[in-house]
């Protein structure tokens, strides 16, 4: 039995606030994306349920190969262990509007089998991004998954290189993480499970980190 009193549990998931009443749309990054709930009464037993109208790239979500590649694996096709494991947390605040390079990650001790989580605390045009050579290096290093919050751009503006290299090699990308700056340890146990829906290119996740006390 796991003794959770020995761990600090940190929620790394953004809260999505539906805009059903005001007509507003959930804001993700620089775009506006729709997320609406419509409650109804389920007639057979009188319970309350919700219709959900949205897209797969809202809030904290994991993108899988089928998001970028025709015939790529969807969220239900990747092994479940892909979405959990030891993660290395990288603070890239020293970077500003420039690529995060392989040497930056080598110095952070990123290694095979890691889940890489990155943040910088920057915003807008000041955000650092994952460089093309870094995307190649992550594939060669055989990391398991890459996750970022909104202070890190997945790739340079106008490029899809990171999506191409990572998703093309069955390495999922988590976007929209939060609270990474609250983590105290360099390495944590990370879990972010997608919905098991056949054909889904991306899925909302509840991402959590467990830190040993």
For the segment 120-145, what is each residue's pLDDT rounded down to a tens digit? 999 999 999 999 999 999 999 999 99
Please state whether 176 falls in left (phi above 0), alpha (psi between -120 and 50) or beta. Answer: left
CB count in 10 Å sphere of residue 198:
8
The CATH code of the domain at 4-15+59-212 is: 3.50.30.50
Please, how many CA atoms are within 13 Å of residue 165, restricted to the half-sphere of its CB? 20
List, for residues 35-90, the tens digit of each pLDDT value: 888 999 999 999 999 999 988 998 999 999 999 999 999 999 999 999 999 999 99
> What is the domain partition of the chain in residue ranges?
4-15+59-212, 17-56
Please give the angle made by the CA atoms of 145, 148 and 151, to the nearest 5 degrees. 165
**Prediction pTM value:** 0.92
Q: Which of 60, 7, 14 is nearest to 188 (CA)?
A: 7
């Amino acid at each position: 039995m796991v003794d959770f009193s020995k761990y600090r549990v940190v929620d790394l998931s953004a809260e999505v606030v539906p805009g059903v009443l005001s007509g507003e749309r959930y804001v993700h990054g620089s775009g506006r994306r729709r997320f609406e709930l419509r409650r109804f009464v389920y007639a057979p037993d009188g319970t309350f349920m919700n219709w959900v109208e949205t897209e797969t790239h809202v809030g904290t979500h994991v993108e899988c190969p089928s998001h970028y590649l025709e015939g790529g694996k969807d969220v239900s096709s990747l092994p479940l262990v892909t979405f959990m494991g030891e993660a290395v947390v990288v603070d890239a605040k020293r970077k500003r509007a420039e690529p995060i390079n392989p040497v930056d990650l080598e110095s952070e001790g990123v290694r095979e089998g890691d889940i890489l989580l990155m943040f910088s605390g920057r915003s807008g045009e000041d955000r650092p991004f994952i460089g093309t050579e870094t995307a190649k290096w992550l594939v060669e290093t055989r990391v398991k998954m890459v996750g970022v919050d909104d202070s890190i751009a997945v790739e340079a503006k106008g490029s899809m290189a990171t999506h191409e290299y990572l998703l093309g090699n069955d390495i999922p990308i988590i976007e929209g993480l939060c609270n990474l700056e609250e983590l105290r340890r360099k390495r944590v146990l990370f879990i972010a499970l997608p919905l098991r829906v056949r054909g889904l290119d991306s899925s909302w996740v509840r991402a959590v980190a467990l830190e040993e006390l």
